A and B are shown apart, each in its own frame.
Chain A
Amino acid sequence: MAVAAAPDHLFHLRNNFYLGSFQAAINNSDLPNLSPDDAVERDCLVYRSYIALGSYQLVINEIDSAAATPLQAVKLLALYLSNPHDKESTIASLKEWLADPAIGSNALLRLIAGIVFMHEEDYIEALKLTNAGGTMELHALNVQIFIKMHRSDYAERQLRVMQQIDEDHTLTQLANAWLNLAVGGSKIQEAYLIFQDFSEKYPMTGLILNGKAVCCIHMGNFDEAETLLLEALNKDAKDPETLANLVVCGLHLGKSSSRYLSQLKLTHPEHILVKRASSAEDSFERAVQSVA
């Protein structure tokens, strides 16, 4: 808890990235007087923003083989996400790099690997790489993995580590909100307050609006959730989470949500809601067979 004095040049960039205003992160990335390390981090954040916006090919094309390890890692992520049919080769090269003692412990590489393994639903493998921590992002990812594994007790421990490092860090707050939502009960309200704080401090983003909306859904306040989600939809009409949550909201409000659903099916056929719906349909048919 040393007295920090130097201004943090990348603060806004990081914040924008974490809070989901990717375009703003990209637009405001032209920062003067960055140290080489900061510049690499800046580039990583910018490329990761492009990835988040779905511009995989741009990232793949722009990062050449001479770029620094973190950037290479980002490129791998873009490769992985852009080509769902050839994941194996990406994972193979990822594993190869991780095995290399020179670069294997690079935080961003581990982070990307963690994300990739999460997509593969190989949480154990992901945790092997990320559990050691080292950056706030890795800790936050750990929290998310534990939430995915329904181990909120572990997630809470990770969060406490984060809080000890910097309680007011955007990622700490976000991770806190995720965990609060995952454990439910009275914590939902705290999660809501966290998103509320964000909305007061920073420009509204789809992520913040969605976060608030999810809190409202969990509090049974579907009308407010719908209002928030429609606002989020105004910001990004194709945001899969907004659409998915709108579907859920619509169902609870007894309104027709089929348009949002078909929109989601069209733009994000891989979304978890779509997958759940189709697998539910299958299991319904199966169950009909078994009961009959």
Chain B
Amino acid sequence: MLTKFETKSNRVKGLSFHTKRPWILASLHSGVIQLWDYRMGTLIDRFDEHDGPVRGVHFHMSQPLFVSGGDDYKIKVWNYKLHRCLFTLLGHLDYIRTVQFHHEHPWIVSASDDQTIRIWNWQSRTCISVLTGHNHYVMCASFHPKEDLVVSASLDQTVRVWDVSSLKKKGASPADDILRLSQMNTDLFGGVDAVVKYVLEGHDRGVNWAAFHPTLPLIVSGADDRQVKLWRMNDTKAWEVDTLRGHMNNVSCVMFHAKQDIIVSNSEDKSIRVWDATKRTGLQTFRREHDRFWILAAHPEINLLAAGHDSGMIVFKLERERPAFAVSGDSLFYAKDRFLRYYDFSTQKETQIVPIRRAGSTTLNQCPRTLSYSPTENAVLICSDVDGGTYELYQIPKDSIGRSDLQEAKRGPGSSAIFVARNRFAVLDKSNNQVLIKNLKNEVVRKSGLPVPTDAIFYAGTGNLLCRSDDRVVVFDLQQRLVLGDLQAPFVKYVVWSSDMESVALLSKHSIIITSKKLVHQCTFHETIRVKSGAWDENGVFIYTTPNHIKYCLPNGDSGIIRTLDVPIYLTKVSGNKIFCLDRDGKNKTLVIDATEYIFKLSLLRKRYDHVMSMIRNSQLCGEAVIAYLQQKGFPEVALHFVKDEKTRFNLAIESGNIQIAVASAKEIDDKDHWYRLGVEALRQGNAGIVEYAYQRTKNFERLSFLYLINGNLEKLSKMLKIAEVKNDVMGQFHNALYLGDIQERVKILENAGHLPLAYVTASVHGLHDVAERLAAELGDDVPSFPEGKEPSLMPPAPIICGGDWPLLRVMKGIFEGGFDSTGRGAVDEEEEGADGDWGEDLDMVDSDGLQNGDVTAILEDGEVAEDNEEGGWDLEDLELPPEVETPRVNARSSVFVAPTPGMPVSQIWTQRSSLAADHAAAGNFDTAKRLLSRQLGIRNFTPLKSMFLDLHTGSHSYLRAFSSAPVVSLAVERGWSESASPNVRGPPALVFNFSQLDEKLKAGYKATTDGKFTEALRLFLNILHTIPLIVVESRREVDEVKELIIIAKEYVLGLQMELKRRELKDNPVRQQELAAYFTHCNLQMPHLRLALRNAMTICFKAKNLATAANFARRLLETNPNENHSKAARQVLQASERNMTDASQLNYDFRNPFVTCGATYVPIYRGQKDVSCPYCTTRFVPTQEGQLCTICDLAVIGADASGLLCSPSQIR
């Protein structure tokens, strides 16, 4: 039982849940009806009009009404919105036990101790039927949820089912006079409109409660005989099915559970019992110490029950509804309906993975509570409360997502179990306060005592545990056995780590604490209602849910509501503005939220003003709340950008010290108060100009004068004097004169104002004797006398400088103007980059070197190297080494130790198994490698191969620093590694040369040829020829490709050698022509052939060998050259057709097929004798036999050789 809410009060006799709102009505024995919000835990209202106990209470399904009935014989209908009783239905003659609204008709059914059941129409406020038949108190009566039936229970030991279908007709046509007449008749004759359908007899004592099944034709009843009886009915009869015995005292109330196949009953024996409705066995009993139970109520929609007892009531759930889940990267694992399921956040697909064990016992609440997942091992740990805490370990085979054969899980006792490393999990052993570290075979690897009494453990990073005790949590390092962090925290229920494992949120019932990974407190959030779940978003904002809200927490302790919720959800992941969650039915849901507000606040907090700016510019948010927030957080200058209202703008500008904006706003507003405040702020900043302006606008002359005095601006001060004069403001005039130090003016003012004695004194003190005398004359006798010895002087000091503004404070400017500026600049940069790109392309074209290179790349497409690496590999398992038989078996611990003989190094194994030269070279066995090469390919000159041999050897081992200061371990690297390769079976060595590299080289060679870099090209093709003897490929097809590659490389080497030779021969035009001609007979790529032909054509044409040139031109035209070339060719053809002769004799007969000798560069026509190189197959004139091949520079011409061996497939 999960108690959600409890009240303490007088005895609770009636209960009713509200359909939509989290409200419950409780009617008390004291006569009060209470309305509670069970989610917030607050008393919303109380209704106290009944006299004596209120036993029945019921909410209306849809209207803001409820009905109550009490021992004052009254049925009252209330409107909870208006907080008052609407009317009272009178008629019963004794206590009223229950009242209930009909779900669609405007009816109320009531049961009373007057032995009747009455049905009322609350709209017409009349009783429409009185059901008589019971001959003792009727303890309860209720409508069937769908059919026109009423069930009642009475102390007369019977349960009665009534048919009320005729009432419907009565209500349907009230205007029908004839019907009404007949009704009156029936009413007169004892009321036959509602009739008893069945009388269920079987209880031995009075029946307290009877209830229908929500869907099936079943009735359950509870009675003072301490029994719960189950009844079944059909159209014609009803009968007793079974009896549930167990209660020790009168059963007060009993009902079917709407969603599960269970019956819930409570009794005066102070217990609530849960029964299996099919097996009819007791499942669970919940006892209270002192309180007898009186009433039960079920929520019409969600999974909540309530029970009333002697001193209050409880709202509770029978089973937790939170699905156990674990998030790992992009996947969610969760338990639902006895299956472990998998949900992919990116594809939003869910899959059933493996069935999990059905709880063996029959008690409730045995569902998985927590789930822990190890991604590398693909293993899941599920903990449940079965047998006082059990964990189960499931390993999910990689290929079997969706396969659902029942896997026997490894299990063990322990209230919590979590993965602490890839292949280790910790199980809490509460009784010994220790954790057992187990491996995936469920074997204990280690035990470790815990530093605090722990009742649950949570993950806290690899090798660490977060241990929870009652009032604190600690992070404990299992290996060092050290407490890494310790924090006082109210009972932590859930722990949510941020994805970078740097922060953790500890969720308790009513609070969230955010701390660092070492439990350094960062902030705490308190909730008035339960915290349900939480998840971190990518930016480090913690998003959490309560039963009715999704909220956010910022790292600085700010929080706010994102949106409201109708039903509780359990967050699994937050990604951008998407929230993934599980609902109570274990369904995955995705909610889209508006993340703007918290992202905005976070950006502010992190001082990411560029983000703030862009959000402001896109005006994604506004409103009083944001402005208030900005002001409160000290960002008035940011708030400024939101506000249109001038007054607010002005206030914000003043607050942020932005005088310009303040002035602009003040101008708009133009009232005295704002100008004044502007003046004050400007004065504070020392911005005299603005102060002056503000004073001028408000015509505040006194202040203005004083400002000028302070500034030493005498000129303006005298203007002020004039203004005062014009305005006839004597005081102002005097002040200004005083400020100016203008005595005469002062005397004049005083005189004009009639203050002659003062004028006289002023004049005489300041030495204006003529004026003083004149005034003395005017005054006559009243000449004032001067005090002795004092010479007062009211002369202001002369200003040293006349300054305007002070050096102004730096106003916060940068952020915003800066923000705009930087984005502007960014755009310019991008444009410039674009220009760069174009430039690059231009350059490419420049670099084309006079030779056409347009379509070369397109032609080089035959290099499709199919890599068949997946198939097979080496099948040499029968040669398993090292031999274990001969070694003497010695107990390592015995005193006489015989060291084992060293095993065979891997390199030795390589040479034993392979007859490929490359493998031998890699193994460092150059001797045999060379023997193999000379036998297979007739190679005698190994000098060009030296670097290849050394590279192969160097690349065959990797180096591992193992034990400090001990020699390094060198490890043999094998080729063709695959995940499934079995260990201890040696594969062949990994070679540094592979076929694809050669392919690259071939392309580079082609490119160099096209570019006319013949030396470079020759080097590349030679390199190919030199590497091939040490190449290893897998399949036969690749062997053929390698052989083809030899031919290609050979042809190019020959051709390029001839071409280079030709260039050396400056003074032998005949030989030049011959070589150019032979070049065209090498097997070249089309563009290269074209170039060779053009070359030969030009040379021959120039040498006046027109017939030969014409031949080349014709061949050139056959290759479909581009416009320019074909034009040239046609011209040559035209020119030579006029004169089909050759100026000089060439050793070149193009009609007769030939090959060119690789050493002497003379044609060997078909049928002539030749010898060839055993490796590269170049042909030579017979005289060259026994020489080193001039093409490949490796093999001896005409030597015996068995042929290229470059693949294990050739040996098999």
CB distance from B20 to the nearest CB of A (A): 49
State which of B247-255, B666-674, B980-988 sits at the interface with chain A. B980-988
Tell me if A1 and B447 are in contact (CB < 8 A). yes
B959 touches which of A182, A214, A288 (Cβ 8 Å): A214
Tell me if B481 and A4 are in contact (CB < 8 A). yes
Q: Give Cα distance in the complex from A268 to B639, angstroms.
A: 64
Residue of B nearest to A170 (CB): B479
Q: Give Cα distance in the complex from A277 to B1191, angstroms.
A: 29
Q: Contacts A150-B882, A168-B437, A193-B422: A220 and B899 contacting too (C-beta < 8 A)? A: no
Tell me if A291 and B942 are in contact (CB < 8 A). yes
Q: Is B893 an interface residue (CB 8 A)?
A: yes
CB distance from A75 to the nearest CB of B (A): 13
User: What are the residues of chain B within 8 A of A288 when measuring CB–CB?
Assistant: 930, 942-943
Q: Is B782 an interface residue (CB 8 A)?
A: no
Among A119, A276, A284, A287, max chain B CB count under 10 A is at: A284
Considering only residues 84-143 of chain A, those with a C-beta below 8 Å from chain B are 115, 118-119, 123-124, 127-128, 131-133, 137, 140-141
Residue of A nearest to B970 (CB): A272
User: What are the residues of chain A within 8 A of B1007 when measuring CB–CB?
Assistant: none
Q: Is B853 an interface residue (CB 8 A)?
A: no
Q: Give Cα distance in the complex from A218 to B959, angstroms.
A: 11
Q: Is B445 an interface residue (CB 8 A)?
A: yes
CB distance from B516 to the nearest CB of A (A): 17
Q: Contacts A118-B967, A167-B446: A5 and B927 contacting too (C-beta < 8 A)? A: no
Q: Is A30 an interface residue (CB 8 A)?
A: no
Tell me if B963 and A51 are in contact (CB < 8 A). no
Q: Is A77 an interface residue (CB 8 A)?
A: yes
On chain B, which size bracket covers the interface? 35 or more
CB distance from A17 to the nearest CB of B (A): 7
Tell me if A151 and B903 are in contact (CB < 8 A). yes
Tell me if A245 and B903 are in contact (CB < 8 A). no
User: What are the residues of chain A within 8 A of B959 when measuring CB–CB?
Assistant: 210, 214, 240-241, 244-245, 248, 272-273
CB distance from A164 to the nearest CB of B (A): 10
Considering only residues 899-925 of chain B, those with a C-beta below 8 Å from chain A are 899-900, 902-906, 924
Q: Is A235 an interface residue (CB 8 A)?
A: no
Considering only residues 280-330 of chain B, those with a C-beta below 8 Å from chain A are none
Q: Contacts A1-B446, A218-B973, A277-B950: A174 and B962 contacting too (C-beta < 8 A)? A: yes
Tell me if A218 and B958 are in contact (CB < 8 A). yes
CB distance from B402 to the nearest CB of A (A): 25
Q: Is A147 an interface residue (CB 8 A)?
A: yes
Q: Contacts A123-B902, A218-B974: A241 and B953 contacting too (C-beta < 8 A)? A: no
Considering only residues 430-467 of chain B, those with a C-beta below 8 Å from chain A are 432, 434, 437, 439, 444-449, 462-463
B963 touches which of A141, A153, A180 (Cβ 8 Å): A141
Q: Is B946 an interface residue (CB 8 A)?
A: yes
User: What are the residues of chain B within 8 A of A52 when measuring CB–CB?
Assistant: 964-965
Tell me if A241 and B434 are in contact (CB < 8 A). no
Q: Contacts A48-B965, A157-B892: A132 and B897 contacting too (C-beta < 8 A)? A: yes
Considering only residues 241-292 of chain A, those with a C-beta below 8 Å from chain B are 241, 244-245, 247-248, 251-252, 254, 271-273, 276-277, 279-281, 283-284, 286-288, 290-292
CB distance from A78 to the nearest CB of B (A): 9
User: What are the residues of chain A within 8 A of B951 when measuring CB–CB?
Assistant: 251
Tell me if B955 and A252 are in contact (CB < 8 A). yes
CB distance from A168 to the nearest CB of B (A): 6
Q: Contacts A150-B902, A247-B954, A284-B950: A144 and B981 contacting too (C-beta < 8 A)? A: no
User: What are the residues of chain B within 8 A of A18 when measuring CB–CB?
Assistant: 964
Main secondary structure of the interface of A (DSSP, over half): helix
Tell me if B882 and A153 are in contact (CB < 8 A). yes
Q: Give Cα distance in the complex from A69 to B961, angstroms.
A: 27
CB distance from B838 to the nearest CB of A (A): 31
A3 touches which of B448, B954, B969, B985 (Cβ 8 Å): B448
A185 touches which of B376, B884, B934, B983 (Cβ 8 Å): B983
User: What are the residues of chain B within 8 A of A247 when measuring CB–CB?
Assistant: 954
Q: Contacts A128-B897, A214-B958: A115 and B963 contacting too (C-beta < 8 A)? A: yes
Q: Contacts A280-B926, A280-B950: A150 and B992 contacting too (C-beta < 8 A)? A: no
Residue of A nearest to B928 (CB): A287
Residue of A nearest to B908 (CB): A150
User: What are the residues of chain A within 8 A of B976 when measuring CB–CB?
Assistant: 220
User: What are the residues of chain B within 8 A of A214 when measuring CB–CB?
Assistant: 958-960, 971
Q: Is B975 an interface residue (CB 8 A)?
A: yes
Q: Is A38 an interface residue (CB 8 A)?
A: no
Residue of B nearest to A290 (CB): B927
A-B pairs under 8 A by CB, number: 258
Q: Is A31 an interface residue (CB 8 A)?
A: no
Q: Is A64 an interface residue (CB 8 A)?
A: no
Tell me if B967 and A272 are in contact (CB < 8 A). yes
Tell me if B892 and A48 are in contact (CB < 8 A). no
Q: Mark A205-242, 1 if CB is under 8 A from B, else 0.
A: 00100110010011110000000000000000000110
Q: Give Cα distance in the complex from A288 to B945, angstroms.
A: 11
Q: Contacts A185-B985, A252-B992, A277-B954: A151 and B902 contacting too (C-beta < 8 A)? A: yes
Q: Give Cα distance in the complex from A287 to B906, angstroms.
A: 21
Q: Is A37 an interface residue (CB 8 A)?
A: no
Q: Is B621 an interface residue (CB 8 A)?
A: no
User: What are the residues of chain B within 8 A of A178 when measuring CB–CB?
Assistant: 960, 962, 969
User: What are the residues of chain A within 8 A of B966 when measuring CB–CB?
Assistant: 115, 118-119, 141, 144
Tell me if A1 and B444 are in contact (CB < 8 A). yes
Q: Give Cα distance in the complex from A152 to B881, angstroms.
A: 10
User: What are the residues of chain A within 8 A of B964 when measuring CB–CB?
Assistant: 17-18, 20, 22, 48-49, 51-52
CB distance from B938 to the nearest CB of A (A): 12
Q: Give Cα distance in the complex from A220 to B897, angstroms.
A: 39
Q: Give Cα distance in the complex from A12 to B477, angstroms.
A: 12
Tell me if A183 and B961 are in contact (CB < 8 A). no
Q: Give Cα distance in the complex from A214 to B961, angstroms.
A: 10
Q: Is B1150 an interface residue (CB 8 A)?
A: no
User: What are the residues of chain B within 8 A of A248 when measuring CB–CB?
Assistant: 954-955, 957-959, 973
Q: Give Cα distance in the complex from A140 to B962, angstroms.
A: 9
User: What are the residues of chain B within 8 A of A283 when measuring CB–CB?
Assistant: 924, 926-927
Q: Is B977 an interface residue (CB 8 A)?
A: yes
User: What are the residues of chain A within 8 A of B463 when measuring CB–CB?
Assistant: 201
Among A2, A124, A291, max chain B CB count under 10 A is at: A291
Tell me if B983 and A186 are in contact (CB < 8 A). yes
Q: Give Cα distance in the complex from A252 to B954, angstroms.
A: 10
CB distance from A224 to the nearest CB of B (A): 13
User: What are the residues of chain B within 8 A of A128 when measuring CB–CB?
Assistant: 897, 899
Considering only residues 987-1018 of chain B, those with a C-beta below 8 Å from chain A are 987, 990, 992, 997, 1000
Q: Give Cα distance in the complex from A280 to B954, angstroms.
A: 9
Q: Contacts A183-B984, A280-B926: A147 and B892 contacting too (C-beta < 8 A)? A: no
Q: Is B167 an interface residue (CB 8 A)?
A: no
Tell me if B969 and A147 are in contact (CB < 8 A). yes
CB distance from A185 to the nearest CB of B (A): 4
Tell me if B902 and A149 are in contact (CB < 8 A). yes
Tell me if B973 and A217 are in contact (CB < 8 A). yes
Q: Give Cα distance in the complex from A207 to B966, angstroms.
A: 14
Q: Mark A39-75, 1 if CB is under 8 A from B, else 0.
A: 0000000001101100000000000000000000000
Residue of A nearest to B956 (CB): A248
Tell me if A218 and B977 are in contact (CB < 8 A). yes
13 further A-B contacts with Cβ under 8 Å, apart from A167-B446, A272-B970, are: A3-B434, A4-B447, A18-B964, A51-B964, A146-B900, A167-B445, A196-B422, A200-B462, A218-B973, A248-B955, A276-B970, A286-B926, A291-B931
Closest A-B pairs by Cβ, 6 of them: A150-B903, A185-B983, A251-B955, A185-B981, A251-B992, A183-B983
Chain A to chain B contacts (Cβ below 8 Å), 8 pairs: A1-B446, A4-B447, A12-B480, A20-B964, A148-B969, A197-B421, A201-B421, A241-B960
Residue numbers of B with Cβ under 8 A of A are 376, 421-422, 424, 432, 434, 437, 439, 444-449, 462-463, 479-482, 882, 884, 892-893, 897, 899-900, 902-906, 924, 926-927, 929-931, 934, 940, 942-943, 946, 949-951, 953-955, 957-977, 979-987, 990, 992, 997, 1000
